[in-house]
Structure 1
Amino acid sequence: MSGELIQLSPGQQVEKWKIEKKLGEGGFGAVYRVYDSTGKYAMKIEQDQGKKNIIQVLKLEVSVLTELSKRGNRHFCRIEDKGRFKNNFNYVVMTLVGKSLEDLKKGGTGGHMSMGCSIGIGIQALEALEDLHAIGYLHRDVKPGNYTIGRPELNEIRKVYILDFGMCRKYTGNDGTIRKPRQAAGFRGTVRYAPISCHMQKDLCRSDDLETWVYMQAELSYGRLPWAHISDMNQVGKQKQAVRKTPEKLFPPPCPREFHEIYTYVSKMKYYDTPDYQMIYGKMRQSYASVGASEHAPYDWENGGPAAHVLR
């Protein structure tokens, strides 16, 4: 099957799910808001377009989410249903989430979050990566657009979800040992947030997900990254290399000293190293005091805060 992506219309039925509206689309297919008698959900559809690799994205997503659900589910959507519809497309129905961190960041004062809010969100975003790494997967596309909060009507606006596992890669073999790095790996991810290894076309490891998380943390807290104005991929890579010598450029005030310390630790990690997640959480929690914030304070979109309009 090739050509145009299948478009589903509001009111259309896919098995027991009724289409409410389209939420977005990518190269693989589209995402719709659907409902049944129990509530609202998100449905991802993926159609074969004669390209073998296209159809694998949803399969990978299902396999990662299924594996995660066995371990308890801190920051991941739950799969409600999956199948193939009339030999036209594959579909997966999962938890419907709220606004992305990208939208919430833009809705804040000066295009970033308040420090207390960004620290709390950062801790949850890292927990999601720790859980993913624990089942042997790297995310490889950590960015504010791939994290969301839960839905206001479910009282989940302080809960962070991580999405989109289409770029994931298993870094362990079936016996749990870490796979040897490949000689060369193509660029994966998003240029703005990608780790230095990615620019060097090296195989990625857990510390690369953490490096990307650090860049995201800097952007959520300060509003922009030092290379935000550069579009050339190689130049962005050089800027990231340069920042290693001057971390204060990545974390200008009001960012706390602890962010520098975490970044320095992550920068020194090697391919086979297991991240000390607990140490990083400890430093993140210390940073509340450094910036005079409380972990119990409302997030920016709660109680009429600076980003509350984004939830409307």
Structure 2
Amino acid sequence: MVEAMSSQQTDTDRLPVTGEIVRGHNNDFSLGDVLGDGGYGTVFSCIYQGRHLAVKVEKYSKSMLFVEASVLKAANQRKLKHFCTMFDGGSLNKEYVFIVMTLLGKDLHRLRAEQVDRKFSMSTGLRIAIQTLEAIKELHEALFMSRDIKPGNFAPGNRLNQQHKNIFMFDFGLARRYVDKNNNLHAPRGEVGWRGTTRYGSLVAHSRQDLSRRDDVESWYYLLVEVTKGCLPWRLVTDRVAVQQAKMRARSEERASFLTGCPPCFDEILTDIDSLSFYDTPRYNSYIEKLQKVCSERGIRMNEHWDWEDESSVRNTSNLASECSARG
């Protein structure tokens, strides 16, 4: 659907605007409101045949959407739970490329920032942790790794599509297949430069070495602590070396303070993650079972409201969804 393109700037590079029609391989889509934008791309809302969708558009010369399309295609073939459905995609005269996919809610980074004290409850935090690790496991089973696990790349589904209880992973611009054409694991390439986001990058990433599945899970661990405890010790540090040193201290002399208020199994999970080698398959199920046990012990039900859900707005949006369905 979406093919690789040149990394060189073209004279025709541009992004479409609200109201414009983009033509995919199978259908035409009218671009609605802007949901988000950046230097090279914009995400638009779109309603097609009664379904609420998102259209992600990037400038032709700068786009990495072919990587995202490859990941979503692999995920959709496997019918993976935590991944958007890709409905269509295409490009226009070397101006822009786009993909049409499931519409999601606000990402977890924005949702946490909107909470009192920028903190989720333990119920919401633990359930987020379980679902995000399930998503990482699914991605790895599809033979890709993210290399940029962070709250900003996860979001709940949209209530209008009745997917609000499910957390989705999205944005795969740094994703890479970790096996060759014969499904053999790639050997580490040595120093490859920085990949990821400083706050959540693994210790291996800080060393600028090649990443593997264990590094995705280490990044998830920082997400786990942040969404349950409310913050990471290095949250205000911008210097990458200083962040690396803080992560190392969190494993030694500052480990107790790092995990203050966290369930005891967090310590066990960190120890296990740190024991993994480049070639190891992370023990996803073991970590999930530990977190599910904590939920059970605390009486947390998996279908509870998320912290960001307001019961009155839930009822109103549910009525709107029913009306949309009837009109569709």
User: What is the TM-score of this pair, normalised by structure 1?
Assistant: 0.90
**Alignment partner for residue 247 of structure 2, among 207, 222, 240?**
240
Q: Counterpart amino acid of 1:6?
A: R
Do the aligned partners of 1:148 and 1:162 also contact (CA within 8 Å) in 2? Answer: yes
Where does 1:111-122 land on structure 2 (aligned, <5 Å)? 111-122=118-129
What is the aligned partner in structure 1 of residue 133 from structure 2? 126
Do the aligned partners of 2:41 and 2:58 also contact (CA within 8 Å) in 1? Answer: yes
Classify the secondary structure of the residue corresponding to 2:31: strand
Percent of aligned positions with the same letter in both sequences? Answer: 31
What is the aligned partner in structure 1 of residue 195 from structure 2? 188
Tell me if 1:22 matches 2:30.
Answer: no
What is the aligned partner in structure 2 of residue 38 from structure 1? 50
Tell me if 1:160 matches 2:167.
Answer: yes
Shift of the alpha carbon at 1:39? 2.5
Q: Distance in 1 between matches of 2:75 and 2:15?
A: 30
What is the aligned partner in structure 2 of residue 9 from structure 1? 17
**Alignment partner for residue 79 of structure 2, among 72, 82, 95?**
72
Q: Distance in 2 between matches of 1:227 and 1:290?
A: 30
What is the aligned partner in structure 1 of residue 218 from structure 2? 211
Shift of the alpha carbon at 1:250? 2.8
Rate the CA distance shift 1:179–1:21 in 2: closer, same or farther, 3 A.
same
Rate the CA distance shift 1:42–1:295 in 2: closer, same or farther, 3 A.
closer
Do the aligned partners of 2:13 and 2:95 also contact (CA within 8 Å) in 1? Answer: no
Where does 1:152-301 land on structure 2 (aligned, <5 Å)? 152-245=159-252, 246-253=254-261, 255-291=262-298, 293-301=300-308
Q: Distance in 2 between matches of 1:4 and 1:300?
A: 44
* Structure 1 stretches lacking a partner, 5+ long: none
* Structure 2 stretches lacking a partner, 5+ long: 1-8, 316-328
- CA shift digits 1:99-158 (9 cap, x unpaired): 111122122232111111111111110011101111221101111111000112223221
Number of residue pairs aligned between Structure 1 and Structure 2: 301
Q: Distance in 1 between matches of 2:300 and 2:47?
A: 40
Root mean square deviation of aligned Cα: 2.1
**Alignment partner for residue 113 of structure 2, among 79, 82, 106?**
106
Classify the secondary structure of the residue corresponding to 1:202: coil
Q: Distance in 1 between matches of 2:225 and 2:242?
A: 19
Rate the CA distance shift 1:8–1:32 in 2: closer, same or farther, 3 A.
same
Rate the CA distance shift 1:4–1:192 in 2: closer, same or farther, 3 A.
farther
